[in-house]
Copies of this chain bind each other. A is one copy, B any other.
Amino acid sequence: MNIGFIGLGNMGAPMARNLIRAGHTLTVFDLSAPAVAELVDAGATGADSPTDVAHANVDIIITMLPASAHVKSVYLGESGLLSTVDPQVLLIDSSTIDPISAREVARAASANGNSLLDAPVSGGTGGAAAGTLTFMVGGTENEFEKARPILACMGKNIVHCGASGNGQVAKVANNMLLGISMIGVAEAMALGTRLGMDAKVLASIINTSSGRCWSSDTNNPFPGVLENVPASRGYSGGFGTDLMLKDLGLATDAARAIRQPVILGALAQQLYQQFSSGGNGGLDFSAIINNYLEPAKNE
């Protein structure tokens, strides 16, 4: 198929490469010329603007952008996609943005005659490179089935979350819970070890008890409990604290828009913000345990 791809950053570039590998013809755009050049080297055709992508006889356009403002600009801006794209083109936005903005853009696409799916991902840059991302997709059943084979070139789990915007809802709800759970594990591991327990023994008990969770059994924040996790390599190379902060911001913003309290969610956001303001925004979010372990070192 002819696919347009807009947004070739740390996530977008490897996703686009996987589409090329799967045999699709790509027309790509990014504000960064070198990013475009790299994909052209890999076999894509470069474009000079979103408009150029829209005019390249594409069947599908995928966008992967940093934030809501970029998504609105690329789709709704004066020379944005919706002003020029053929109504037959299927639009897929894989950016992570707030659900309310996602629905606003989808409604505008629909008024233009286009289908627009929200399809944010989880799995990080590793999953993007390996083609093992999870896609959480919002849109009609019919639109979802059209997009599924394309998304399957880039990911392993393609999950239909319901109507438009629900892909974003699933992602922010899951990640808010993740952000809370990780701090919960950090507090429990710090309390237990400072009260005298061995960290591995404590983790093994939690992992077979009612405290069991991904943040304990798969990404335990206490150094040395698990191998091959960020905590055992200086908290490098996982899901960055600042990315968690971004997702908690989306969650609390969406909650605010509908007057829904998210009390632990908002407190978790502040604790990661405190940690990030100390210069730790690039560390895996499990490094938040240092807020609980380090003071003891000072004593």
A205 at interface by CB-CB < 8 Å = yes
- One of A2-10, A23-31, A85-93, A169-177 at the interface: A169-177
Contacts of A170 on B, CB cut-off 8 Å?
A: 192, 197, 201-202, 205-206
Q: How far is the CB of A238 from chain B (nearest CB, A)?
A: 11
Task: Find residues 187-231 in chain A having any chain B CB closer than 8 Å to their own CB.
Answer: 187-192, 194-198, 201-202, 205-206, 208-216, 218-219
How many copies of this chain sit in the oligomeric assembly? 4
* A211 pairs with B175, CB closer than 8 A: yes
Contacts of A96 on B, CB cut-off 8 Å?
A: none
A80 at interface by CB-CB < 8 Å = no
A271 at interface by CB-CB < 8 Å = yes
Determine which of B183, B213, B254, B298 lies in contact with A212 in the assembled complex, contact meaning CB atoms within 8 Å: B213
Q: How far is the CA of A292 from the CA of B133 in the complex (A)?
A: 31
Query: What interface size band does chain A fall in?
Result: 35 or more
* A271 pairs with B263, CB closer than 8 A: yes
* A274 pairs with B256, CB closer than 8 A: no
Q: How far is the CB of A216 from chain B (nearest CB, A)?
A: 7
A159 at interface by CB-CB < 8 Å = yes
Q: How far is the CA of A215 from the CA of B214 in the complex (A)?
A: 12
A101 at interface by CB-CB < 8 Å = no
Q: How far is the CA of A262 from the CA of B188 in the complex (A)?
A: 8
* A201 pairs with B162, CB closer than 8 A: yes
A163 at interface by CB-CB < 8 Å = yes
Q: How far is the CA of A291 from the CA of B281 in the complex (A)?
A: 17
A166 at interface by CB-CB < 8 Å = yes
Determine which of B159, B183, B192 lies in contact with A173 in the assembled complex, contact meaning CB atoms within 8 Å: B192
* A197 pairs with B266, CB closer than 8 A: no
A161 at interface by CB-CB < 8 Å = yes
Task: Find residues 249-299 in chain A having any chain B CB closer than 8 Å to their own CB.
Answer: 249, 251-252, 254-256, 258-271, 273-274, 276-279, 281, 291-292, 294-296, 298-299
Given A161-B201, A177-B184, A278-B294, 6 more contacts at CB 8 Å? Answer: A169-B192, A183-B263, A211-B214, A212-B214, A213-B213, A267-B270
Give the B-binding residues of A (Cβ under 8 A). 99, 122, 134, 136, 157, 159, 161-163, 165-166, 169-170, 172-178, 180-181, 183-185, 187-192, 194-198, 201-202, 205-206, 208-216, 218-219, 249, 251-252, 254-256, 258-271, 273-274, 276-279, 281, 291-292, 294-296, 298-299
